[in-house]
Structure 1
């Protein structure tokens, strides 16, 4: 039997999801977010880019507009109404102090107990190489969790700047090749499929498959992959870092 995943913590009320691109959260994680918002928890989205380099057939200005609109619609499906874009360049996000600063400021604004991000490891497991944007943002989120609580790092001298926030208790990394925890998503699969399907322009440029068939197959693969290590229940897995 594979090692079983622990249940995700439940003693929190507010989370902030920080990822690189529109659609990053919808490839699996949205099922967990649908469950959490359904339980009355607050979740906010921050995206490093507007996904402007993601559709080969659209120029970046047009693609950014389309993908921002799709992301807002997708978030609404799972009960998320706050979606922000940091304006970093799609495809060439640089890990460093500028990215850490922007994420730390977002953490200070939203004051979450739980941070959610995407796989920061070199691979998705085995030899499936991860993208530079995912690696940069995931690492920056892990670092910014501490930056946000230190008033001497990225001090905001404006009168109404957000105060430091040292209340982040966990960082949950989705898509990790080394998951430790999971959350059951029974009853939320259809919502997750609809959320991913809102990225229709991106999906139609990505594959020749029927968009709904593609979305359903992907979501089912993600939740069934975690099920074997979570009592057979459909689940979304995370690598959980505590602070």
Structure 2
């Protein structure tokens, strides 16, 4: 597995605006503080989310792109890439694999953070079908697509994007996490990122308390002391 000093560039591949903030914004802030370059890739604009029906027919997607941009800024990320898939109907397949492989070859990250493609029966929300589709396609894009110059050869011949090997993947939302990151020092920035998604969370009066409790429980599972907060991942080596 990668040592901390071997991680210099990270790509997150998520289904919707707010997915990275719920699952890993504290970790992202910690990485950015260490000088790591982080890039966000979002499969959809989140156009099927939110509670304001007056923003249907495109308005919600534009709002959520803006919210995600503000949330990213709260943890020090400024490079965001939206793939434009329709929220709620993402399917794993060659097109999505090609689009993610393209971004991987553009960014050339050491580490990719994405959704677990496994269904989690303990906590069903992380197993949204868009999440599982994006996680499955991202893993396929990491191995073998992005590293194999003969997969999607047009990426090289037409776009000049040579093959790239991602060395490690961290999965979020799955049933078997095995790696915990202490985010006690960055929990406030995680909350700021989440609260930037006003269309999703502004109706929840106790949202901040919920977030703190949830990630305090994760810290407890990780064996950290009282008052700590943590985020959980499953680490996957690509060797």
User: Is the aligned partner of 1:165 residue 2:164?
Assistant: yes
Query: Secondary structure of 2:140's match?
Result: helix
The residue that corresponds to 1:4 in the other structure is none
Q: Distance in 2 between matches of 1:96 and 1:225?
A: 33
User: Tell me, what secondary structure is at the counterpart of 1:27?
Assistant: helix
**Aligned counterpart in structure 2 of residue 35 of structure 1, from 30, 34, 42:** 30
Q: Give how far 1:163 is off.
A: 1.2
Q: RMSD across aligned C-alpha pairs, in angstroms?
A: 2.0
Question: 1:223 touches 1:236 (CA, 8 Å); kept in 2?
Answer: no
Q: Tell me, which stretches of 5 or more residues in structure 1 are unaligned? A: 1-6
Name the structure 2 match of 1:150. Answer: 148
- Partners in 1 of 2:216 and 2:11 — Cα distance? 22
CA displacement, residues 16-40 of structure 1 (integer Å, 9 cap, x when unaligned): 0000000001113101101110111
Conserved 8 A contact 2:127-2:173: no
1:228 and 2:221 matched: yes
Count the aligned residue pairs: 231
**Do the aligned partners of 1:28 and 1:192 also contact (CA within 8 Å) in 2?**
no
Contact kept in structure 1, 2:126 and 2:174, CA below 8 Å: no
TM-score, length-normalised on structure 2? 0.90
Q: Match of 1:109?
A: 106
Larger helix percent: 2
Q: Structure 2 vs 1, CA of residues 172 and 198 (structure 1 numbering), >3 Å: closer, same or farther?
A: same
Partner of 2:18: 23
Question: Quick check: 1:187 aligned with 2:200?
Answer: no
Structure 1 window deviating more from structure 2 (110-119 vs 128-137): it is 128-137
Query: TM-score when scaled to structure 1?
Result: 0.88
Q: Which residue of 2 aligns with 1:214?
A: 207
Structure 1 residues 8 and 113 mapped into 2: Cα distance closer, same or farther (>3 Å)?
Answer: closer
